Structure 1
Amino acid sequence: MENFPNYMNYGQSPTVCVNHPDRVSYAQCGRCNRTVCGECQTAQGAGVVCPDCYRELNGGNVRPKRSFIARHWHITYTLILINVVVYGLQLIIPFRWVHNLGMMSGPRVHHGEYYRLITHGFVHSQTDPMHLVWNMIYLFIFGVSLERMMGRWKFLFVYMAATVGAGCSVYLFTYYRGAVGASGGVYGLYGAFFVLLLLRKQKDTARLFILLMGIDVVQSLFHPNISHAGHFGGLVSGALATLLIIPFVKKPESSNPPPQSPQQWLNGRY
Protein backbone atom coordinates (compact mmCIF):
# COMPACT_ATOMS: atom_id res chain seq x y z
CA MET A 1 0.00 0.00 0.00
CA GLU A 2 1.53 3.28 -1.05
CA ASN A 3 2.70 5.64 1.69
CA PHE A 4 1.71 3.34 4.54
CA PRO A 5 3.74 0.13 4.55
CA ASN A 6 2.10 -2.99 5.94
CA TYR A 7 5.13 -5.24 6.06
CA MET A 8 4.52 -8.94 5.35
CA ASN A 9 0.75 -8.33 5.55
CA TYR A 10 0.95 -7.91 9.32
CA GLY A 11 -1.69 -5.95 11.18
CA GLN A 12 -4.90 -4.36 9.94
CA SER A 13 -5.08 -2.80 6.50
CA PRO A 14 -5.06 1.01 6.56
CA THR A 15 -8.09 3.00 5.43
CA VAL A 16 -7.97 4.47 1.94
CA CYS A 17 -9.59 7.37 0.11
CA VAL A 18 -12.94 6.53 -1.48
CA ASN A 19 -11.80 8.07 -4.76
CA HIS A 20 -8.12 7.12 -4.66
CA PRO A 21 -7.66 3.55 -3.39
CA ASP A 22 -3.88 3.95 -3.54
CA ARG A 23 -3.90 6.74 -0.93
CA VAL A 24 -4.08 6.10 2.79
CA SER A 25 -6.14 8.59 4.78
CA TYR A 26 -7.87 8.89 8.15
CA ALA A 27 -9.90 12.02 7.37
CA GLN A 28 -13.63 11.58 6.87
CA CYS A 29 -16.30 13.52 5.08
CA GLY A 30 -18.29 15.31 7.78
CA ARG A 31 -21.56 14.38 6.08
CA CYS A 32 -21.33 10.80 4.77
CA ASN A 33 -18.34 9.65 6.88
CA ARG A 34 -16.51 8.22 3.87
CA THR A 35 -12.72 8.40 3.92
CA VAL A 36 -11.23 11.14 1.74
CA CYS A 37 -7.64 12.17 1.07
CA GLY A 38 -6.34 15.73 1.13
CA GLU A 39 -7.02 16.22 -2.59
CA CYS A 40 -10.69 15.22 -2.25
CA GLN A 41 -11.43 17.33 0.83
CA THR A 42 -13.40 20.54 0.39
CA ALA A 43 -13.97 22.98 3.24
CA GLN A 44 -17.65 23.28 4.11
CA GLY A 45 -18.64 25.11 7.27
CA ALA A 46 -16.51 23.95 10.19
CA GLY A 47 -15.36 20.73 8.54
CA VAL A 48 -14.61 19.05 5.24
CA VAL A 49 -16.81 17.12 2.83
CA CYS A 50 -16.24 14.80 -0.12
CA PRO A 51 -16.89 15.90 -3.73
CA ASP A 52 -20.27 14.10 -3.87
CA CYS A 53 -21.59 15.74 -0.69
CA TYR A 54 -20.28 19.11 -1.82
CA ARG A 55 -22.38 18.87 -4.98
CA GLU A 56 -25.47 17.86 -3.01
CA LEU A 57 -25.03 20.68 -0.50
CA ASN A 58 -24.47 23.27 -3.20
CA GLY A 59 -27.31 22.47 -5.55
CA GLY A 60 -25.40 20.23 -7.89
CA ASN A 61 -22.53 22.67 -8.38
CA VAL A 62 -19.16 21.04 -8.82
CA ARG A 63 -16.53 22.20 -6.35
CA PRO A 64 -14.21 24.89 -7.75
CA LYS A 65 -11.58 23.39 -10.02
CA ARG A 66 -8.17 23.84 -8.49
CA SER A 67 -4.99 24.16 -10.50
CA PHE A 68 -2.60 21.24 -10.89
CA ILE A 69 -0.24 22.79 -8.35
CA ALA A 70 -3.05 23.33 -5.83
CA ARG A 71 -4.16 19.70 -6.21
CA HIS A 72 -0.71 18.15 -5.95
CA TRP A 73 1.27 20.59 -3.81
CA HIS A 74 1.77 19.54 -0.21
CA ILE A 75 2.55 21.71 2.81
CA THR A 76 5.53 19.41 3.24
CA TYR A 77 7.01 20.85 0.05
CA THR A 78 6.49 24.37 1.42
CA LEU A 79 8.29 23.48 4.65
CA ILE A 80 11.19 22.00 2.68
CA LEU A 81 11.34 25.09 0.46
CA ILE A 82 11.43 27.41 3.49
CA ASN A 83 14.28 25.42 5.03
CA VAL A 84 16.29 25.49 1.78
CA VAL A 85 15.74 29.24 1.29
CA VAL A 86 16.74 30.00 4.88
CA TYR A 87 19.88 27.91 4.48
CA GLY A 88 20.69 29.84 1.32
CA LEU A 89 20.37 33.07 3.29
CA GLN A 90 22.66 31.63 5.95
CA LEU A 91 25.35 31.13 3.31
CA ILE A 92 24.84 34.50 1.64
CA ILE A 93 24.54 36.82 4.65
CA PRO A 94 27.90 37.13 6.46
CA PHE A 95 28.82 36.83 10.13
CA ARG A 96 26.39 33.91 10.71
CA TRP A 97 23.68 36.54 11.18
CA VAL A 98 20.75 34.32 10.15
CA HIS A 99 22.06 31.38 12.20
CA ASN A 100 22.50 33.47 15.33
CA LEU A 101 19.16 35.22 14.87
CA GLY A 102 17.15 32.01 14.54
CA MET A 103 18.93 29.47 16.73
CA MET A 104 17.38 28.18 19.95
CA SER A 105 18.96 29.80 22.99
CA GLY A 106 17.62 29.36 26.51
CA PRO A 107 18.89 32.68 27.90
CA ARG A 108 17.57 34.64 24.91
CA VAL A 109 14.16 33.00 25.11
CA HIS A 110 14.15 33.82 28.83
CA HIS A 111 14.65 37.47 27.90
CA GLY A 112 11.60 37.51 25.64
CA GLU A 113 12.79 36.20 22.28
CA TYR A 114 10.06 33.55 22.13
CA TYR A 115 10.12 33.39 18.34
CA ARG A 116 13.22 31.22 18.67
CA LEU A 117 10.98 28.33 19.78
CA ILE A 118 9.86 28.20 16.14
CA THR A 119 12.70 29.69 14.09
CA HIS A 120 15.29 27.20 15.34
CA GLY A 121 13.42 24.54 13.33
CA PHE A 122 14.22 26.33 10.06
CA VAL A 123 17.92 27.04 10.67
CA HIS A 124 20.63 24.42 10.16
CA SER A 125 24.31 23.89 10.81
CA GLN A 126 26.33 26.43 8.86
CA THR A 127 29.30 24.08 8.43
CA ASP A 128 27.49 20.82 7.68
CA PRO A 129 25.11 20.90 4.66
CA MET A 130 24.21 17.23 5.27
CA HIS A 131 22.42 18.35 8.42
CA LEU A 132 19.89 20.06 6.16
CA VAL A 133 19.89 17.31 3.51
CA TRP A 134 19.06 14.44 5.86
CA ASN A 135 16.41 16.39 7.74
CA MET A 136 14.71 17.28 4.45
CA ILE A 137 14.83 13.67 3.25
CA TYR A 138 13.07 12.43 6.39
CA LEU A 139 10.64 15.35 6.30
CA PHE A 140 9.70 14.40 2.75
CA ILE A 141 9.31 10.68 3.51
CA PHE A 142 7.09 11.07 6.56
CA GLY A 143 5.58 14.46 5.79
CA VAL A 144 3.83 13.61 2.52
CA SER A 145 2.41 10.36 3.93
CA LEU A 146 1.11 11.93 7.14
CA GLU A 147 -0.26 14.93 5.31
CA ARG A 148 -2.39 12.64 3.14
CA MET A 149 -3.61 10.76 6.20
CA MET A 150 -4.44 13.76 8.39
CA GLY A 151 -5.14 16.54 5.94
CA ARG A 152 -2.95 19.56 5.33
CA TRP A 153 -3.76 21.78 8.27
CA LYS A 154 -3.87 19.06 10.89
CA PHE A 155 -0.47 17.90 9.65
CA LEU A 156 0.89 21.44 9.88
CA PHE A 157 -0.46 21.73 13.42
CA VAL A 158 1.32 18.52 14.45
CA TYR A 159 4.60 19.58 12.82
CA MET A 160 4.62 23.05 14.36
CA ALA A 161 3.59 21.67 17.77
CA ALA A 162 6.55 19.29 17.58
CA THR A 163 8.90 22.13 16.63
CA VAL A 164 7.74 24.26 19.54
CA GLY A 165 7.88 21.23 21.86
CA ALA A 166 11.47 20.58 20.80
CA GLY A 167 12.37 24.19 21.59
CA CYS A 168 10.71 23.99 25.00
CA SER A 169 12.56 20.76 25.76
CA VAL A 170 15.88 22.39 24.88
CA TYR A 171 14.94 25.32 27.11
CA LEU A 172 14.15 23.01 30.04
CA PHE A 173 16.93 20.43 29.80
CA THR A 174 19.83 22.12 28.00
CA TYR A 175 19.27 25.75 28.88
CA TYR A 176 22.72 27.07 27.98
CA ARG A 177 23.21 24.97 24.87
CA GLY A 178 22.04 26.28 21.50
CA ALA A 179 20.14 24.11 19.04
CA VAL A 180 19.17 24.36 15.38
CA GLY A 181 17.54 22.10 12.82
CA ALA A 182 14.24 20.61 11.67
CA SER A 183 14.93 17.32 13.43
CA GLY A 184 12.64 18.26 16.32
CA GLY A 185 9.72 18.59 13.91
CA VAL A 186 10.79 15.42 12.08
CA TYR A 187 10.87 13.47 15.34
CA GLY A 188 7.38 14.82 15.96
CA LEU A 189 6.32 13.16 12.71
CA TYR A 190 7.87 9.93 14.00
CA GLY A 191 5.70 10.25 17.09
CA ALA A 192 2.61 10.96 14.99
CA PHE A 193 3.29 7.99 12.74
CA PHE A 194 3.74 5.71 15.74
CA VAL A 195 0.47 6.88 17.32
CA LEU A 196 -1.43 6.19 14.09
CA LEU A 197 0.12 2.72 13.88
CA LEU A 198 -1.10 1.95 17.38
CA LEU A 199 -4.57 3.38 16.77
CA ARG A 200 -4.87 1.26 13.64
CA LYS A 201 -3.63 -1.76 15.65
CA GLN A 202 -0.69 -2.26 13.31
CA LYS A 203 1.25 -3.83 16.16
CA ASP A 204 3.83 -5.68 14.09
CA THR A 205 4.57 -2.65 11.96
CA ALA A 206 4.78 -0.58 15.16
CA ARG A 207 7.37 -3.00 16.58
CA LEU A 208 9.44 -2.72 13.42
CA PHE A 209 9.14 1.06 13.59
CA ILE A 210 10.34 1.03 17.22
CA LEU A 211 13.33 -1.10 16.17
CA LEU A 212 14.28 1.35 13.43
CA MET A 213 13.83 4.28 15.81
CA GLY A 214 15.98 2.52 18.41
CA ILE A 215 18.79 2.10 15.89
CA ASP A 216 18.56 5.78 15.01
CA VAL A 217 18.69 6.81 18.67
CA VAL A 218 21.72 4.58 19.35
CA GLN A 219 23.54 6.04 16.36
CA SER A 220 22.78 9.57 17.51
CA LEU A 221 24.44 8.87 20.87
CA PHE A 222 27.79 8.79 19.09
CA HIS A 223 27.32 12.31 17.70
CA PRO A 224 28.02 14.86 20.43
CA ASN A 225 26.51 17.78 18.49
CA ILE A 226 23.01 16.29 18.33
CA SER A 227 20.36 17.83 20.58
CA HIS A 228 18.84 14.81 22.29
CA ALA A 229 16.59 17.08 24.34
CA GLY A 230 15.19 18.57 21.13
CA HIS A 231 14.58 15.13 19.64
CA PHE A 232 12.82 13.94 22.79
CA GLY A 233 10.65 17.05 23.03
CA GLY A 234 9.70 16.83 19.37
CA LEU A 235 8.84 13.14 19.58
CA VAL A 236 6.60 13.54 22.63
CA SER A 237 4.97 16.75 21.35
CA GLY A 238 4.21 15.21 17.95
CA ALA A 239 2.60 12.17 19.57
CA LEU A 240 0.52 14.31 21.95
CA ALA A 241 -0.55 16.68 19.18
CA THR A 242 -1.70 13.69 17.11
CA LEU A 243 -3.76 12.36 20.03
CA LEU A 244 -5.25 15.83 20.40
CA ILE A 245 -6.52 15.96 16.82
CA ILE A 246 -7.79 12.35 16.74
CA PRO A 247 -11.38 13.44 17.57
CA PHE A 248 -11.25 15.54 14.39
CA VAL A 249 -9.80 12.67 12.31
CA LYS A 250 -12.48 10.07 12.90
CA LYS A 251 -11.67 6.44 12.39
CA PRO A 252 -13.81 4.92 9.63
CA GLU A 253 -15.79 1.81 10.45
CA SER A 254 -14.54 -0.05 7.41
CA SER A 255 -11.27 -0.11 5.54
CA ASN A 256 -13.04 -0.95 2.27
CA PRO A 257 -14.41 1.97 0.23
CA PRO A 258 -18.11 1.69 -0.64
CA PRO A 259 -19.05 0.91 -4.25
CA GLN A 260 -19.52 3.88 -6.56
CA SER A 261 -20.49 4.47 -10.14
CA PRO A 262 -17.86 5.17 -12.84
CA GLN A 263 -19.11 8.77 -13.01
CA GLN A 264 -18.59 9.24 -9.25
CA TRP A 265 -15.10 7.78 -9.55
CA LEU A 266 -14.22 10.13 -12.39
CA ASN A 267 -15.67 13.17 -10.58
CA GLY A 268 -13.69 12.38 -7.42
CA ARG A 269 -10.44 11.65 -9.24
CA TYR A 270 -10.53 14.56 -11.69
Structure 2
Amino acid sequence: MEQPPKSPDSQRPADSDGGLPHCYRHPDRETGIRCTRCEKPICTDCMVDASVGFHCPDCVRSGSGTGHAPGASQPRNVVGGVVHAGDPRLVTKILVGLNLAVFAVVSLAPAGERILREFYLIGGVAAPPYVLLDGVATGEWYRLFTAMFLHEEIWHIAFNMLGLWWLGGPLEAALGRARFLALYLLSGLAGSALTYAVAAPNQPSLGASGAIFGLLGATAVLMKRMNYDMRPVIALLVINLIFTFGGSNIAWEAHIGGLVAGALLALALVHAPREKRALVQYGAFGLVFAAVLVTVLVRTASLTL
Protein backbone atom coordinates (compact mmCIF):
# COMPACT_ATOMS: atom_id res chain seq x y z
CA MET A 1 0.00 0.00 0.00
CA GLU A 2 1.32 3.42 -0.85
CA GLN A 3 2.49 5.61 1.95
CA PRO A 4 -0.05 8.35 2.68
CA PRO A 5 1.09 11.96 2.90
CA LYS A 6 3.03 12.54 6.09
CA SER A 7 1.30 14.53 8.74
CA PRO A 8 3.31 17.24 10.48
CA ASP A 9 3.60 14.99 13.53
CA SER A 10 5.01 12.12 11.47
CA GLN A 11 7.82 14.05 9.82
CA ARG A 12 10.97 13.43 11.82
CA PRO A 13 14.68 13.67 11.04
CA ALA A 14 16.22 10.81 9.11
CA ASP A 15 18.74 8.37 10.53
CA SER A 16 22.20 9.62 11.31
CA ASP A 17 23.54 7.93 8.18
CA GLY A 18 21.35 10.17 6.03
CA GLY A 19 18.78 7.55 5.16
CA LEU A 20 15.24 7.00 6.35
CA PRO A 21 14.65 5.18 9.66
CA HIS A 22 13.54 1.55 9.58
CA CYS A 23 10.29 0.16 10.94
CA TYR A 24 10.74 -1.13 14.49
CA ARG A 25 8.82 -4.30 13.63
CA HIS A 26 10.25 -4.78 10.12
CA PRO A 27 13.91 -3.70 10.19
CA ASP A 28 14.29 -4.25 6.43
CA ARG A 29 11.71 -1.55 5.56
CA GLU A 30 12.55 2.15 5.43
CA THR A 31 9.80 4.54 6.48
CA GLY A 32 9.17 8.20 7.01
CA ILE A 33 6.25 7.60 9.38
CA ARG A 34 6.43 7.55 13.18
CA CYS A 35 3.90 6.72 15.88
CA THR A 36 2.50 9.98 17.21
CA ARG A 37 2.44 8.48 20.71
CA CYS A 38 5.83 6.81 21.22
CA GLU A 39 7.59 8.13 18.08
CA LYS A 40 8.81 4.70 16.99
CA PRO A 41 9.22 4.44 13.16
CA ILE A 42 6.44 2.37 11.57
CA CYS A 43 5.89 1.13 8.02
CA THR A 44 2.57 1.24 6.16
CA ASP A 45 1.87 -2.36 7.20
CA CYS A 46 2.10 -1.46 10.89
CA MET A 47 0.63 2.03 11.01
CA VAL A 48 -2.87 2.49 12.41
CA ASP A 49 -4.91 5.53 11.44
CA ALA A 50 -5.69 7.75 14.42
CA SER A 51 -7.48 11.04 14.91
CA VAL A 52 -4.06 12.70 14.69
CA GLY A 53 -1.30 11.01 12.71
CA PHE A 54 -0.72 7.28 13.06
CA HIS A 55 -0.18 4.87 15.94
CA CYS A 56 1.95 1.75 16.20
CA PRO A 57 0.37 -1.65 17.06
CA ASP A 58 1.99 -1.65 20.51
CA CYS A 59 0.32 1.62 21.50
CA VAL A 60 -3.02 0.42 20.16
CA ARG A 61 -2.82 -2.87 22.08
CA SER A 62 -1.70 -1.20 25.30
CA GLY A 63 -4.50 1.33 25.07
CA SER A 64 -2.21 4.35 24.94
CA GLY A 65 -3.20 4.86 21.35
CA THR A 66 -6.90 4.72 21.98
CA GLY A 67 -7.30 7.28 24.75
CA HIS A 68 -9.05 9.89 22.64
CA ALA A 69 -11.36 12.48 23.99
CA PRO A 70 -15.07 11.65 23.94
CA GLY A 71 -16.38 11.78 20.40
CA ALA A 72 -12.94 11.36 18.81
CA SER A 73 -12.63 8.73 16.10
CA GLN A 74 -11.25 5.29 16.95
CA PRO A 75 -7.93 4.13 15.49
CA ARG A 76 -8.45 2.50 12.10
CA ASN A 77 -6.37 0.28 9.86
CA VAL A 78 -5.30 1.00 6.31
CA VAL A 79 -8.70 0.05 4.81
CA GLY A 80 -10.75 2.02 7.31
CA GLY A 81 -11.64 -0.78 9.71
CA VAL A 82 -11.64 -0.30 13.47
CA VAL A 83 -8.53 -1.68 15.13
CA HIS A 84 -9.32 -4.04 18.00
CA ALA A 85 -6.91 -4.24 20.90
CA GLY A 86 -7.50 -7.98 21.33
CA ASP A 87 -6.26 -11.01 19.44
CA PRO A 88 -5.49 -9.99 15.81
CA ARG A 89 -6.25 -13.58 14.66
CA LEU A 90 -9.53 -14.04 16.53
CA VAL A 91 -11.78 -14.58 13.49
CA THR A 92 -9.18 -16.79 11.81
CA LYS A 93 -9.00 -18.99 14.90
CA ILE A 94 -12.79 -19.22 15.09
CA LEU A 95 -13.02 -20.26 11.43
CA VAL A 96 -10.31 -22.88 11.83
CA GLY A 97 -11.98 -24.20 14.98
CA LEU A 98 -15.39 -24.35 13.31
CA ASN A 99 -14.05 -26.27 10.31
CA LEU A 100 -12.20 -28.72 12.55
CA ALA A 101 -15.25 -29.22 14.77
CA VAL A 102 -17.49 -29.98 11.79
CA PHE A 103 -14.87 -32.37 10.40
CA ALA A 104 -14.70 -34.19 13.74
CA VAL A 105 -18.48 -34.57 13.86
CA VAL A 106 -18.67 -35.84 10.28
CA SER A 107 -15.76 -38.25 10.82
CA LEU A 108 -16.77 -39.65 14.19
CA ALA A 109 -20.55 -39.46 14.33
CA PRO A 110 -22.52 -42.51 13.17
CA ALA A 111 -24.62 -40.18 11.02
CA GLY A 112 -21.57 -38.57 9.41
CA GLU A 113 -22.35 -39.76 5.88
CA ARG A 114 -25.93 -38.54 6.17
CA ILE A 115 -24.68 -35.13 7.35
CA LEU A 116 -22.48 -34.89 4.27
CA ARG A 117 -25.38 -35.75 1.96
CA GLU A 118 -27.65 -33.24 3.64
CA PHE A 119 -25.24 -30.30 3.56
CA TYR A 120 -22.70 -30.66 0.74
CA LEU A 121 -23.14 -28.70 -2.47
CA ILE A 122 -25.16 -30.44 -5.14
CA GLY A 123 -27.27 -28.86 -7.85
CA GLY A 124 -29.93 -31.51 -7.96
CA VAL A 125 -30.37 -35.27 -7.86
CA ALA A 126 -32.74 -36.56 -10.52
CA ALA A 127 -34.81 -39.72 -10.41
CA PRO A 128 -37.10 -41.22 -13.04
CA PRO A 129 -38.91 -39.59 -14.65
CA TYR A 130 -36.06 -37.04 -14.22
CA VAL A 131 -37.61 -35.05 -11.42
CA LEU A 132 -35.15 -33.25 -9.13
CA LEU A 133 -35.44 -34.63 -5.61
CA ASP A 134 -32.97 -32.49 -3.69
CA GLY A 135 -30.23 -29.94 -4.23
CA VAL A 136 -29.83 -26.19 -4.67
CA ALA A 137 -32.20 -26.22 -7.64
CA THR A 138 -35.02 -27.49 -5.43
CA GLY A 139 -34.66 -24.60 -2.99
CA GLU A 140 -31.91 -25.93 -0.72
CA TRP A 141 -29.80 -22.80 -1.10
CA TYR A 142 -28.21 -23.33 2.29
CA ARG A 143 -25.95 -25.90 0.60
CA LEU A 144 -24.02 -23.05 -1.06
CA PHE A 145 -22.97 -21.96 2.44
CA THR A 146 -22.77 -25.18 4.44
CA ALA A 147 -20.53 -26.88 1.86
CA MET A 148 -17.83 -24.33 2.77
CA PHE A 149 -17.38 -25.97 6.18
CA LEU A 150 -17.43 -29.63 5.14
CA HIS A 151 -14.40 -31.83 4.47
CA GLU A 152 -14.29 -35.57 3.94
CA GLU A 153 -10.57 -36.42 3.73
CA ILE A 154 -7.91 -35.58 6.31
CA TRP A 155 -5.51 -34.25 3.65
CA HIS A 156 -8.26 -31.96 2.34
CA ILE A 157 -8.95 -30.22 5.61
CA ALA A 158 -5.24 -30.20 6.52
CA PHE A 159 -4.26 -28.23 3.41
CA ASN A 160 -7.23 -25.89 3.67
CA MET A 161 -6.68 -25.10 7.34
CA LEU A 162 -2.96 -24.50 6.79
CA GLY A 163 -3.88 -22.08 4.02
CA LEU A 164 -6.48 -20.39 6.22
CA TRP A 165 -3.99 -19.98 9.06
CA TRP A 166 -1.11 -18.68 6.93
CA LEU A 167 -3.21 -16.29 4.84
CA GLY A 168 -5.97 -15.45 7.29
CA GLY A 169 -3.93 -14.04 10.16
CA PRO A 170 -2.08 -11.31 8.22
CA LEU A 171 -5.20 -10.45 6.22
CA GLU A 172 -7.37 -10.18 9.32
CA ALA A 173 -4.81 -7.84 10.89
CA ALA A 174 -4.68 -5.72 7.74
CA LEU A 175 -8.40 -5.59 6.89
CA GLY A 176 -10.04 -5.80 10.31
CA ARG A 177 -12.33 -8.52 11.60
CA ALA A 178 -15.58 -7.53 9.87
CA ARG A 179 -14.08 -6.95 6.44
CA PHE A 180 -11.96 -10.08 6.66
CA LEU A 181 -14.92 -12.26 7.61
CA ALA A 182 -17.10 -10.75 4.88
CA LEU A 183 -14.38 -11.33 2.28
CA TYR A 184 -13.91 -14.93 3.41
CA LEU A 185 -17.60 -15.82 3.35
CA LEU A 186 -18.40 -14.02 0.11
CA SER A 187 -15.41 -15.60 -1.65
CA GLY A 188 -16.63 -19.00 -0.52
CA LEU A 189 -20.14 -18.27 -1.78
CA ALA A 190 -18.76 -17.09 -5.12
CA GLY A 191 -16.88 -20.37 -5.43
CA SER A 192 -20.03 -22.33 -4.62
CA ALA A 193 -22.07 -20.33 -7.12
CA LEU A 194 -19.63 -20.94 -9.98
CA THR A 195 -19.47 -24.64 -9.11
CA TYR A 196 -23.27 -24.80 -9.14
CA ALA A 197 -23.40 -22.97 -12.47
CA VAL A 198 -20.78 -25.00 -14.35
CA ALA A 199 -20.44 -28.46 -12.80
CA ALA A 200 -22.82 -31.32 -13.47
CA PRO A 201 -25.92 -30.84 -11.28
CA ASN A 202 -25.53 -34.29 -9.70
CA GLN A 203 -21.83 -33.82 -8.87
CA PRO A 204 -21.31 -33.23 -5.12
CA SER A 205 -18.79 -30.63 -3.98
CA LEU A 206 -17.54 -29.57 -0.56
CA GLY A 207 -14.66 -27.79 1.14
CA ALA A 208 -13.34 -24.36 2.13
CA SER A 209 -11.13 -24.11 -0.96
CA GLY A 210 -13.17 -21.34 -2.58
CA ALA A 211 -12.84 -19.14 0.49
CA ILE A 212 -9.11 -19.95 0.83
CA PHE A 213 -8.50 -18.99 -2.79
CA GLY A 214 -10.36 -15.75 -2.06
CA LEU A 215 -7.83 -15.03 0.70
CA LEU A 216 -5.01 -15.82 -1.73
CA GLY A 217 -6.38 -13.36 -4.29
CA ALA A 218 -6.81 -10.71 -1.61
CA THR A 219 -3.26 -11.27 -0.36
CA ALA A 220 -1.87 -10.75 -3.85
CA VAL A 221 -3.79 -7.48 -4.24
CA LEU A 222 -2.70 -6.22 -0.82
CA MET A 223 0.96 -7.08 -1.42
CA LYS A 224 0.89 -5.33 -4.80
CA ARG A 225 -0.68 -2.24 -3.26
CA MET A 226 2.02 -2.14 -0.58
CA ASN A 227 4.80 -2.62 -3.15
CA TYR A 228 6.02 -5.84 -1.56
CA ASP A 229 7.96 -8.52 -3.43
CA MET A 230 5.30 -10.34 -5.44
CA ARG A 231 7.36 -13.40 -6.31
CA PRO A 232 6.39 -15.52 -3.27
CA VAL A 233 2.64 -15.00 -3.67
CA ILE A 234 2.85 -15.48 -7.46
CA ALA A 235 4.71 -18.76 -6.95
CA LEU A 236 2.10 -19.89 -4.41
CA LEU A 237 -0.70 -18.97 -6.79
CA VAL A 238 0.88 -20.81 -9.72
CA ILE A 239 1.45 -23.95 -7.63
CA ASN A 240 -2.15 -23.93 -6.45
CA LEU A 241 -3.49 -23.43 -9.96
CA ILE A 242 -1.36 -26.35 -11.21
CA PHE A 243 -2.90 -28.57 -8.52
CA THR A 244 -6.34 -27.15 -9.31
CA PHE A 245 -6.30 -28.10 -12.99
CA GLY A 246 -3.94 -31.04 -12.78
CA GLY A 247 -5.48 -32.97 -9.94
CA SER A 248 -8.48 -35.26 -9.91
CA ASN A 249 -11.70 -34.77 -7.95
CA ILE A 250 -10.95 -31.06 -7.53
CA ALA A 251 -13.71 -28.51 -8.09
CA TRP A 252 -11.72 -25.98 -10.10
CA GLU A 253 -14.84 -23.82 -10.35
CA ALA A 254 -14.79 -23.17 -6.60
CA HIS A 255 -11.12 -22.20 -6.72
CA ILE A 256 -11.52 -19.79 -9.63
CA GLY A 257 -14.78 -18.30 -8.32
CA GLY A 258 -13.26 -17.66 -4.90
CA LEU A 259 -10.01 -16.30 -6.35
CA VAL A 260 -11.74 -13.77 -8.60
CA ALA A 261 -14.18 -12.66 -5.88
CA GLY A 262 -11.43 -12.25 -3.29
CA ALA A 263 -9.24 -10.23 -5.64
CA LEU A 264 -12.10 -7.94 -6.69
CA LEU A 265 -13.18 -7.30 -3.11
CA ALA A 266 -9.60 -6.59 -2.04
CA LEU A 267 -9.19 -4.10 -4.90
CA ALA A 268 -12.22 -2.21 -3.61
CA LEU A 269 -10.97 -2.34 -0.03
CA VAL A 270 -7.44 -1.05 -0.59
CA HIS A 271 -8.08 1.37 -3.47
CA ALA A 272 -11.27 3.03 -2.21
CA PRO A 273 -10.77 6.80 -1.91
CA ARG A 274 -10.78 7.95 1.70
CA GLU A 275 -13.68 10.37 1.25
CA LYS A 276 -15.90 7.67 -0.32
CA ARG A 277 -14.40 4.63 1.34
CA ALA A 278 -17.53 3.16 2.87
CA LEU A 279 -19.62 3.66 -0.28
CA VAL A 280 -17.06 1.99 -2.53
CA GLN A 281 -16.35 -0.89 -0.17
CA TYR A 282 -19.96 -1.68 0.70
CA GLY A 283 -20.92 -1.25 -2.95
CA ALA A 284 -18.28 -3.77 -4.05
CA PHE A 285 -19.46 -6.37 -1.56
CA GLY A 286 -23.04 -5.75 -2.63
CA LEU A 287 -22.18 -6.17 -6.32
CA VAL A 288 -20.32 -9.43 -5.75
CA PHE A 289 -23.22 -10.76 -3.69
CA ALA A 290 -25.64 -9.70 -6.45
CA ALA A 291 -23.49 -11.56 -9.01
CA VAL A 292 -23.65 -14.68 -6.85
CA LEU A 293 -27.43 -14.35 -6.54
CA VAL A 294 -27.95 -13.86 -10.28
CA THR A 295 -25.72 -16.82 -11.09
CA VAL A 296 -27.69 -19.08 -8.78
CA LEU A 297 -31.04 -17.87 -10.12
CA VAL A 298 -30.03 -18.37 -13.76
CA ARG A 299 -28.66 -21.85 -13.14
CA THR A 300 -31.73 -22.82 -11.14
CA ALA A 301 -33.99 -21.66 -13.96
CA SER A 302 -32.04 -23.77 -16.48
CA LEU A 303 -32.36 -26.88 -14.33
CA THR A 304 -36.03 -26.54 -13.47
CA LEU A 305 -37.60 -25.38 -16.73
**TM > 0.5 fold call:** yes
Aligned mates of 1:208, 1:93 — CA distance in 2:
43
Shift of 1:123: 0.2
CA spacing shift, 1:247–1:211, aligned 2, 3 Å: closer
Q: How does 1:92-111 map to 2 (within 5 A)?
A: 92-94=109-111, 96-107=113-124, 108-111=135-138
Maintained 8 Å contact 1:25/1:150: no
Shift of 1:34: 1.8
TM-score relative to the length of structure 1: 0.70
Aligned mates of 1:90, 1:158 — CA distance in 2:
26
CA spacing shift, 1:150–1:142, aligned 2, 3 Å: same
Which ranges of structure 2 fall in alignment gaps of 5 or more residues?
A: 1-21, 76-84, 125-134, 275-305
AA partner of residue 116 (structure 2): H
AA partner of residue 177 (structure 2): R
Which has the bigger relative contact order, CA under 8 A and spacing at least 6? 1
TM-score relative to the length of structure 2: 0.62
Alignment correspondent of 1:231: 255
Greater gyration radius: 2
CA spacing shift, 1:53–1:117, aligned 2, 3 Å: same
Alignment correspondent of 1:243: 267
Aligned mates of 1:243, 1:223 — CA distance in 2:
30
CA spacing shift, 1:97–1:28, aligned 2, 3 Å: same
User: Size of the alignment, in residue pairs?
Assistant: 226
The answer to whether 1:90 aligns with 2:116 is no
Alignment correspondent of 2:60: 40
Maintained 8 Å contact 1:25/1:37: no
State the identity %: 24
Maintained 8 Å contact 1:25/1:148: no
CA spacing shift, 1:195–1:13, aligned 2, 3 Å: farther
- Which of 155, 180, 185 is residue 160 of structure 1 equivalent to? 185
Maintained 8 Å contact 2:45/2:174: yes
Alignment correspondent of 2:234: 210
Aligned mates of 2:149, 2:31 — CA distance in 1:
32
Maintained 8 Å contact 2:217/2:260: yes
- Is the partner of 2:111 in helix, strand or coil? coil
Shift of 1:15: 10
Aligned mates of 1:39, 1:101 — CA distance in 2:
48
Alignment correspondent of 2:206: 180
